[in-house]
Structure formats: structure tokens, C-alpha cells
Amino acid sequence: AILVVRRSHGRIGLAMGAVRSPTAYGGRDLSPFAFEAGPQTSSWELQRAADAKVRADQQLRHALQVGKEGITRILQGCLDRVGEQLEKGEAPSSKAHFPLLNPFDFEDVESLARHGFTIDLHADEVDSSLKELVDAVLGIVWKNVSVENELATKTLERYNTALLARMEILEHHLFDRTHQLSTCRFKYYLEITHLRDQLYRKQHCDDATFEPEEVYYFEPTDFL
């Protein structure tokens, strides 16, 4: 509560009055900031949603169909080769051998020197088919799933924390300045009212009986 000065019939009176709440100054809300994030999805829900998108993508079915056809073609070639061996009366191989992507047959040292050894000599058609299938599936996954930049997310969190701390400091400063301004205005009002009362009494009293009251409410240096 604060003192409120009231004037009646030329006399000054002081009464108790309510202090205006610092959380409502100038039509602005100065209450503590509270952010409502709303409903948040869990990691499991995000994973399930991404899985459903990938499985429902038509390109995935096409990639699986192409991969199946490639492997079927390779197996059919192996069966045809076994059939040829049986027709010739040869014993079929007991191990599966798939056609190599880069077959090599070095006849002499010169051909060996001209060979590019950056090529995988053991890669076969099954490896190529599986690689194409994996590349196609990964392309579909990255099309439907957004990758989180953890470094950028942590940087944004630190920035938001620092910004929130700065806003809290500004709110405290605003509250202090608002309180100081209210106190300044109230004391200045008391000073003016007291001076008016002195003038009123001087005008309606004899000079011999008038005794000025030296009272100070407002001190300018307190508000610099």
C-alpha cells in the first residue's frame, strides 16, 4: 500500500491506497514468461511414422522388384551352367560361383602391369545387384526421413537459453525502472501538494500566525 494525498476544504490529508501491480504497467504484461511447447512426439513415434512412409513408397516396391529380377537372372544363369556341365558329362561344381564383374586372365607380366588394381577383382554380379538394391533403398529412406543436425540443434538450444536469460534480465530492469518512476512521480506529487497547501494556508492566515512547515518529499538526486 501507499499513501494517497487528499484535499478537502483547503486542507491536506493522507490516506492509504493500493499500489498498482508491477505486472500490469502501461497495458503490458510483465509477468514471468512461460512458453507452452504443446504436444511433443517421442522418438519411437517418429521412427514408426518414418517406417510407414518408407514402406508405403512406390519406389521401394519397384526397387525390390528390380533387385529380385536381377538375383533371379543370376541364379538362372548358374542353373543353365550346371545344365551344360551335366550335358557334357562333367561333374557340377559343389560350390556356387557367380559371374565376376571384372574377370581377369593374366597371360603375361605385361597384361598384369596394365591391369587397374583399383578395381575389385572379387566383386560378382550378386554384389552388384545387392549394391544397387541398397542404394535404391537408402535413396528412398533419405527422401522420406529428415536427418537431424545435432550440432545445429544444440547450438539453437544454447542460443535460446542465452536469449531467455537476457530477456529475464531486461524484465528485471524494466520492473526496477517502473518501480523507480512510480516512486518518483508519487514523491513529486506529495511535494507539489505540500507546497500548494502552504500557499493556501498563507493566503488565508495572518502573516504573524503563519508558520511554514519545512518538509521535503522529493529528492531529485535519488532518481538519477
Give the pLDDT of residue 147: 74
Going by their DSSP bridges, the two strands 11-17 and 2-8 should be labelled as antiparallel
pTM: 0.43
Q: Average pLDDT, whole number, for the chain? A: 75
CA distances from 105 to 81, 84, 108, 148 (A): 20, 22, 9, 48
Residues 7 and 192: their CA atoms lie apart, in Å, by 12
Give the pLDDT of residue 112: 55
Mean pLDDT value of segment 113-120: 59
Q: Flag whether pLDDT at 21 surpasses 70.
A: no
Residues 133 and 156: their CA atoms lie apart, in Å, by 37
- Tens of pLDDT, residue by residue over 3-17, are 444 444 444 444 444
Q: What angle do CA 123, 129, 130 make, to 5 degrees?
A: 85
Looking at 11-15, 115-119, 200-204, which range is the least confident one?
11-15
Start-to-end CA distance of the chain, whole Å, equals 25
| More confident call, 153 vs 23 | 153
Type of residue at 138: L
Mean pLDDT value of segment 205-223: 82
Mean pLDDT value of segment 186-211: 86
Mean pLDDT value of segment 33-49: 76
Looking at 18-27, 48-57, 193-202, which range is the least confident one?
18-27
Give the pLDDT of residue 141: 86
- Tens of pLDDT, residue by residue over 136-170, are 888 888 888 887 778 888 898 999 999 988 988 99
- Tens of pLDDT, residue by residue over 78-110, are 888 888 878 888 777 776 666 666 665 655 556
Give the pLDDT of residue 115: 57
Give the pLDDT of residue 159: 92
| More confident call, 118 vs 17 | 118
**Neighbouring C-beta atoms of residue 140, cutoff 10 Å:** 20
Give the pLDDT of residue 9: 40
